[in-house]
A and B are shown apart, each in its own frame.
Chain A
Amino acid sequence: MSMEQEAPSPSPVHAGSRVTTRAGGLVTAGRGVMAPVFTVLMTVGFLDVVLLLLVPFSLTRYTESPWSSSGRLGFLALAVGAGILFGIITAVAADRRNRSPWWFLAGHAGTFAAPLMAAIDWDHGIPLAASWGMEGPGSARMLVLLLCAVGSLVAFTVFSLTPVREHPPPPGPLLRGLGRFFHGAGNIYLGISLLILLVAGLFYGTFVENDYSHRAAKYLVYTAPWFGTLLLAFSVSLISATLRKYPWRVDQTGWLVVHAALVLLLIGTFMTFWGKREGSLTLSEGEAGSSFPLDGASRLVVQEAVRSKDRFMGFRPVWRSMTHFDQNPAETEPRETYRPEGPGGRDLGFTITVDRYFPHGEPQVSHLNSGSVPSYAVKLETRPPGRGATPSTGVLSENGAPISLGRMLVLRIRRAREARVVDAVLAGAPTNGDGEGTYPVPPGELWFVAGPRGRLVWGFHASSGAVRAGPVEAGRALPLGIPLELRVLEVYDHYVRELSYEFGGYESRRQVCRLRIGGDGELMDAGADRTSWIFRGQESNLPLVRSGDSIYRISWNAVHQSLGFQLKLEDFHRDYYPGSTQPRTFESKLWLRDKRHPEPRLIKIDMNHPLRYKGWRLYQARFSEGRGTETTILQVNRDPGLNTVTYPACAVLTLGLVIVFFQKRGFLFPLAACLRRRKTAPMTRFLASLGVVGLAFLATLPGVAIFVLLGEGPLMLLGPLSIVLGLVLETLLVTGPLARRLKRAQPIGVVPVPVKPGAPS
């Protein structure tokens, strides 16, 4: 895609006449005539992309297959990339020699070998190579690259030695159809339309993010199937647009690099999308962990109560299923139904329906008088002494814990003759509403006693020794004789305390859901509406279901991801700024151990130094402390696409942009001059065209170096430096006398071939 918008330079092959270029991809493909090599190249290229995109997807989505290891995905990417590169080299070379395109396949040796090798766990080390002293995944990668190179070399040698055929084999109907497809899909108007749709989608996404939450925007837009389809369509359009220009001219180098890099970037995006795992690892001092809960992946687990000789022996998990209702934080009424099955497909006889999901639920306690068992409670209003004091109300009931005076009084009442003592509730000094000054309330004990006929009586034993008592009636204040007003608002005799949750925002903090049991099952201890709330990761008070003669327990937990190694927190250390409680730095010292190195090693993770190990990166994120122990929270993630594909693609794209925007008509002038001579031997021209690609990649090397040398401190400055250098060089080249010479650059190796009479046009 050149800068200068000019009429095409006069060409020896006049387009539109009965003479056409042999493999002029754009020209011939537009008519549905396409060089077979071109078609094969595209087909295999697409196969590669499909392999790269779909195989990891099908293998890693919510499963714990060996493919979810980032090393393997990266390996696959490397192999496919190498396969594509070597394949293209062979194919272009074959095309120059007018050879059979199928040699191209030899260049793809690595592409097809890679998944095979990875599947049989060869990517972690090859037995034979190990005996030569080569160990680890590196040797496997070397082997794949070697395979690719050898394939391409063999093909190259063979077709170099055999005589050249005069005419390429005529394309069949299938090839012509493909040609039409790619010509259509590579249309720039289609590309622009897709870009516009993409922009609209992104814009919509920012608003979803603002209205709901980050996770909602990710679910509804950025990782939604429609957006993925859009991206995929865009990739197809991009690839087609790149390929339909074949054979590429020298002055299209920048354009070619940019488009290839964009395709790579999209592949990296898909790999990140499908391969990324993240979560946080929480470790207390002395605690060891080798797995961590994943963000955004959780499952429902049904456990069955195990009985042996009518004795309860514990719970055993019988069924688990990934949940989907918690993927979309914006949907609070998901209505998702599960039918749990026991081992061997045994129907457990009940269904679980999730009909509410809140990304953050605020607990709400409701007090009802609808219990089946007599149980008493009193709703009280307290008014501390002092001007401007605000009264507060609370319910005294069985389950609550005592809370300080002035806020809520929680008492326990029993239908028993003996008084239940409410201790320490009236002790202490409440403050009035202004927070200024305190009023001492004498400590004492307040009793509520349920009489034989269900009538409640109160008794107050002040610390001074005075005792007062009386019947409890709704709407009446209790004459305690101290300067605290206690008014009874309501009296319950079949008290039920129900915990439910209210919607508390779209940011995921305390995720809660409401379960409803269908089929033959029945929730035990359920409230009036026969539902039960649980929060993600809840461990106690889980809902129990009675179905048939078994009892089941339902829980909702994060999926744990295994790290493949073990970390044990030795020490958590932090520094404060002197004279403040603001922590300056904090760091964790951990023992690292895995299968290969059973001897634990002591490592350190601090805020600027993450641990990178086995494809995982562990960052010091936060910490918490409580009850004498300190707990470190490490952010864990693994992104297979980033280092292997995305970073190199970004580097290549940046410098490709530099080339494309500043080259006018190319800067590889000696090559162009060489290619312009019509008498140049095919081999020379082939080498020259290789040089075009090679130099374009060389130009991007500094950019790649930035990313390879990441984390090396001042070396990172190489990045901007190389870009600035590139800009200066390019500007010099463009403004220099070269620009004039390059304007007449010809397409590489175009040989006029008369179209045979009768060939489809």
Chain B
Amino acid sequence: MNPLRIPLAALWVSLLLAGAGAQDAGPLPPPWAEGQALDLDLEAIQDLPVLENKRFKPYDTLARSQVRAVTWKERFKKTHPVIVHLYWMFEPGSAAQDPVIRLPAAHVAESIGIDVEDMGVYASFMELQDHGGFKEALHPLWEKPQDQLTKRERAILSLGHRWMRLGAVTARTRGWDTVVPPRGVAFLPFFPSHEPMRPGEEFHWFSPRDLTLALSGRGQRDAGLKGWSREALLGGLEGLAGLRVAWLAARRGEPGAREAFTEASRALRGHLAGLGAPSYPAQAPLSREVRYNEVHPFTWAQWLYVLGAFLAVVALLARNRGVYTLPFLPMLGGLGIHIWGLWERTAISGRAMIGDFYESMVFVAAVSVVMGLVFEVVFRRRWTMLGGAVLGALLLILGHSYPQTLDPEISKLQPVLINNDWIHIHVPTIVSSYAALGLASLLGHIYLVRFLFQRPEARGMREMSRFIYWMMPVGLVLLFAGIVLGGVWADQSWGRFWGWDPKETSSLITWLVFLIVIHGRWSGWLRDYGTAVGTVLGGWSLIWTYWGANFFMQGLHSYAGSDPNPKIPLPLLIYGATSLGLLLASSLVWLVKVRGPGGEGGSDRAVEATGRVAAEEAGA
């Protein structure tokens, strides 16, 4: 008989006792219900190291990403994600009854027989579990190839993933609840393996379920647990069980539960750290990540930029020296926290933070604010500052609006991108060029708006046109360098410098479009208004390169996986309509102002004073 069996019996008893208290009191309402708010000291449990997705992360990050994945919100009903996650783990019975799984759009939900009016936006695990229509619709989708799924099927599959995810946390699926004594904590990969790991080798940490299986001798994956003594394993389980007892006590509102919970979390962490496992990570980076999670630097930066943009508008209207400095404060503050966030994220992930689309958007936002401020310091005309703030805020808002597509979680890079310095050279270069060209295009839009109301030869208008014109070369140099560096990278990795990949081609198109605008201006073909229109068109091309080529075309740069039936996101549609309307309206105004009978089309050239043209014509 396995000698471990005997203490296992003791373990069972202790865990059952621990659970008994909750059974006596009956299921409690969820922690986000009225009057159930918990006042716990989460600090000690937040940075408990776990290993998920080939990365050490604090428990806090795991809780956040799982709550976000299931509910599409980080703070579900204004409750701290760690509390929500602890509730799911420790009270799986009642957690399975709470409506927390975000349902897809109403027409999709109704097509599988889910009554949205009855259920609302969220469904509970058990509701979906017992829902025949959902199961029937989901079943054939598991094996269907990814690229053959329709939009609707994708939504259903994604709902299925959310359902499974919650099921894994609450140990509801695959009958784990019959195996695992502390129901619900099956998922948490908290226990380190014993063997020293070679660098780069795949290893995993163990969940309570693995520990229990190892103790009972039934484990499949206990190779890494073999070196641990029985006490070590039991200590891990008991620490978790103790935490659960403290949690339940706190939930029942027992006196001293807050201290007991803190004590229990410290005990658990102390035991795990005291094991001396070779793979046990250092505490400092984990605490750093918890701090990063708590601060949300990019959300702060976003709102500060919004404030900065607002103040910049005020400064534009006020024309007062004191007011002029006002927008700098929130913008510099936002930029500071933005850069701090970039720095933290880089430090946490151990790579430059430009690995996925979300990160690239955050990066572009930072670069555009920096450029806006730099040009502002040079020109002192308020417009570039406004442009930088608006572009930065817009990009951050867009980046945070689609958590399903643009996952803000820190992830490991694809294998082809790891151990490759090129990503650190190519991506920042090209993405900075997007910022410069985007800024030029944004100012082009503002110019067109002003064009509707102001005379083109006014001093402010001419100046603004010059800003637009000055930003393009910066972007063009960076874009060209980025394209070439990308080509060199491709040559190193795939053996070709240029392969007409859609992304390559469209970035070349963007480069050429801005080149046309610049040459058009040099040649005198485009004047102030024409330059603005050209940058607006260049902006379209830029958007196509940045988003379109990734999400509409199949190629090497598809960050988010190519969707066979892509839908243009609403903000882009609104932008397109606005931009097109602006072009049309301003062209009408142009016809009247510049080309019309009262216009001064002829004298425009003298105002423009394009030196080369004048020189050429004088010479010829």
Contact = CB atoms under 8 A, between A and B. Distances in A.
11 contacts: A1-B522, A5-B612, A8-B618, A27-B620, A188-B522, A196-B516, A199-B512, A199-B516, A217-B500, A635-B495, A716-B422
A650 B488 CA distance: 10
Nearest to A193: B516
B523 A189 contact: yes
A292 B372 CA distance: 54
A124 interface: no
A319 to B, nearest CB: 34
B431 to A, nearest CB: 13
Interface in A633-647: 635, 637, 639, 642, 646-647
A16 B523 contact: no
B425 A717 contact: yes
A206 B491 CA distance: 21
Contacts of B422: 716
Nearest to A435: B143
Interface in B124-177: none
Interface in B495-521: 495-500, 502, 505-506, 508-509, 512-513, 515-516, 519-521
Contacts of A647: 488
A650 B484 contact: yes
B512 A195 contact: yes
Interface of B: 200-203, 419, 421-422, 425, 429, 473-474, 476-477, 480-481, 484-485, 487-488, 491-492, 494-500, 502, 505-506, 508-509, 512-513, 515-516, 519-523, 525, 549, 552-554, 608-612, 614-616, 618-620
Contacts of A188: 519, 522-523
B524 to A, nearest CB: 9
Contacts of B615: 7-8
A657 B477 CA distance: 6
A466 B88 CA distance: 62
A580 B202 CA distance: 9
A464 interface: no
A193 to B, nearest CB: 10
A703 to B, nearest CB: 9
Nearest to A27: B619
A608 B419 CA distance: 10
Contacts of B549: 206
B421 A717 contact: yes
Contacts of B609: 5-7
Given A191-B519, A202-B512, 5 more contacts: A1-B612, A189-B523, A222-B500, A637-B496, A662-B473
A26 B509 CA distance: 31
Interface string A601-620: 00000001010000001010
A187 to B, nearest CB: 9
Nearest to A210: B553
Contacts of A272: 497-498
B571 to A, nearest CB: 23
Interface in A688-740: 707, 710-711, 713-714, 716-717, 719-720, 723
A5 to B, nearest CB: 5
Contacts of A217: 500
A612 to B, nearest CB: 10
A177 interface: no
A188 to B, nearest CB: 4
Contact of B474 (A642, A661, A707): A661
Nearest to B522: A1
B149 to A, nearest CB: 18
Contacts of A202: 505, 508-509, 512
Contacts, number: 146
Contacts of B620: 27, 30-31
Contacts of A26: 616, 619
B505 A205 contact: yes
A15 interface: yes
Contacts of B491: 642
A720 B201 contact: no
Interface in A226-279: 272, 278
A2 B500 contact: no
B500 A209 contact: yes
How many chain A residues sit at the interface, stated as a range, is 35 or more
Interface string A483-494: 000000000000
B476 A2 contact: no
Given A188-B519, A195-B512, A196-B516, A577 B202 contact: yes
A500 interface: no
A15 B201 contact: no
B512 A639 contact: no
A283 interface: no
B553 A716 contact: no
A93 interface: no
B520 A192 contact: yes
3 shortest interchain CB distances as A-B pairs: A661-B473, A6-B611, A8-B615
Nearest to B200: A584
Interface in A191-230: 191-192, 195-196, 198-199, 202-203, 205-206, 209-210, 214, 217-218, 222
Interface in A2-32: 2-8, 15-16, 24, 26-27, 30-31
Contacts of B508: 202
The CB with the most chain B CB atoms within 10 A, among A188, A198, A584, A710, is that of A188
B417 to A, nearest CB: 13
A568 B477 CA distance: 46
Contacts of B612: 1-2, 5
Given A5-B609, A717-B421, A198 B512 contact: yes
Given A7-B614, A209-B502, A657-B476, A637 B202 contact: no
The CB with the most chain B CB atoms within 10 A, among A5, A203, A578, A619, is that of A5
Contacts of A561: none
Contact of B519 (A195, A198, A210): A195
Given A196-B516, A711-B492, A720-B425, A2 B611 contact: yes
A404 interface: no
A209 B549 CA distance: 12
Given A16-B618, A202-B508, A654 B202 contact: no
Contacts of B496: 278, 637, 639
Nearest to A223: B500
Given A4-B611, A27-B620, A654 B552 contact: no
Given A191-B519, A202-B508, A8 B611 contact: yes
B202 to A, nearest CB: 5
Contacts of A653: 480, 484
B606 to A, nearest CB: 10
Contacts of A76: none
Nearest to B606: A7
A710 B422 CA distance: 11
Given A5-B609, A654-B481, A646 B497 contact: yes
A79 interface: no
A149 to B, nearest CB: 30
Contacts of B616: 26
Contacts of B519: 188, 191-192, 195
A16 B619 contact: yes
